[in-house]
Amino acid sequence: MKTNAINLNGIGMTSQRTRDRLLSRLIDQGIGCMRLLDVVRSTPRHIFLDEALAHKAYEDVALPIGFNQTISQPYIVAKMTEVILNTGKFDHVLEIGTGCGYQTAILAQLAKSVSTVERIKPLLERARKNLKLLKLRNIDFRHVDGSLGWKKNAPYDAIIATAAPQRVPEALLQQLAPGGRLIIPVGGESNQRLQLITRDKADFNVEVLEQVKFVPLLCGQLQS
Ligand code: SAH
């Protein structure tokens, strides 16, 4: 991404008017939390994309960010965040799969602190740069396989996984605080379900929310 060309306010297809159309779409799809909608409205999604794709930034679609990965669809970012916001404490949040940092930016404006982990190092570095540009400083980054979570900062009020494992990693359940929620897509490429798992002391209550399509949660780390 060419940082010298970045305009946080946006022009043309990235202007506030185009962004407001995205807001209407999210509201039409049932997103109702005003605090969250305000944050989505003021977060420049175009800076998370390569310049060639910036004109599509406010369409409600996932888009490529390199390394076979995508920036999540705004609806799904909003939906996952809203579910977590509406179900309990939201002070200390862990995100699995930083990508280019868009969801991280939304979370960081709503939570007290966000920990985020990514297995592809260049993506993590890009996210770090993007979030610095937005002057968001309550974020801890780590290059690691997210199926292990991040024990050092645990327990978390909420964990948001933005890549899909075949089975829920045990470490993520163990790093939830009492009353903590894990929202995670689970399953193979053609059959994923978004699950909301709530911890009640040693018990976990699982609720299946909707059919989704995320990139897979992969093992190990990549340096480049
Ligand atoms: N949160 C991002 C979504 C990025 S796509 C957004 O807001 O757009 C999902 C990300 O999960 C990819 O960057 C991918 O590299 C990462 N990922 C996949 N498996 C992972 C793992 N085991 N640990 C950490 N990150 C992982």
| Closest alpha carbon to 182 in 218, 213, 154 | 154
Domain range for 35: 12-212
Which tens digits make up the pLDDT trace of 193-202? 999 999 998 8
User: Is 63 among the domain residues?
Assistant: yes
- Tell me whether residue 72 is one of the annotated catalytic residues: yes
pLDDT at 2 over 80: no
Q: pLDDT per residue over 108-152, tens digit each?
A: 999 999 999 999 999 999 999 999 999 999 999 999 999 999 999
What sign does the dihedral 118-186-109-26 (CA atoms) show?
positive
Tell whether 103 is covered by a domain: yes
Q: Does the Cβ of 69 fall within 6 Å of ligand 1? A: yes
Tell me, rounded to whole angstroms, the distance of Cα 66 from its chain centroid. Answer: 17
Q: What is the mean pLDDT of residues 53-69?
A: 94
Residue 70 Cα: closest atom of ligand 1: 5
Domain count, the chain: 1
Output the CA torsion 161→163→168→174 (10° steps): -30
Calculate how far, in angstroms, residue 176's C-alpha sits from the geometric centre of ligand 1.
Answer: 19
Exposed, middle or buried: residue 66 (CB in 10 Å: 0-12, 13-18, 19+)?
middle
User: 176: domain CATH number?
Assistant: 3.40.50.150
The answer to the question of residue 3 being in a domain is: no
Residue nearest (by alpha carbon) to ligand 1 atom 20:
217
Q: For position 1, what pLDDT does the model report?
A: 45
- For the Cβ of 215 lying below 6 angstroms from any atom of ligand 1, the answer is yes
For residue 14, name the pLDDT band (cuts at 50, 70, 90).
low
Look up the pTM and report it: 0.94
Residues 12-30: what's their mean pLDDT?
88
Per-residue pLDDT reduced to its tens digit, 32-50: 999 999 999 999 999 999 9
Active-site residue (options: 42, 72, 113, 115)? 72
Distant-in-sequence, close-in-space partners of 162: CB < 8 Å, separation ≥ 6: 72, 80, 95, 96, 97, 99, 103, 214
Gap between the Cα atoms of 204 and 129, Å rounded: 36
In a domain, 222, yes or no: no
Question: Is the minimum distance from the CB of 54 to ligand 1 under 6 angstroms?
Answer: no
Strand-pair partners of 94:
115, 159
Whether 2 is in a domain gets the answer no
The verdict on residue 4 lying in a domain is: no
Buried b (16+ CB within 10 A) or exposed e, 175-188: bbbeebbbbbbbbe
Instruction: Tell me whether residue 218 is in a domain.
Output: no
- Distances in whole angstroms, Cα of residue 86 to Cα of each of 35, 78, 90, 150, 154: 11, 12, 9, 24, 21
Pocket lining: 71 vs ligand 1, CB cutoff 6 Å: yes
Domain membership of residue 223 (yes or no) is: no
Please work out whether the CB of residue 162 comes within 6 Å of at least one atom of ligand 1: yes
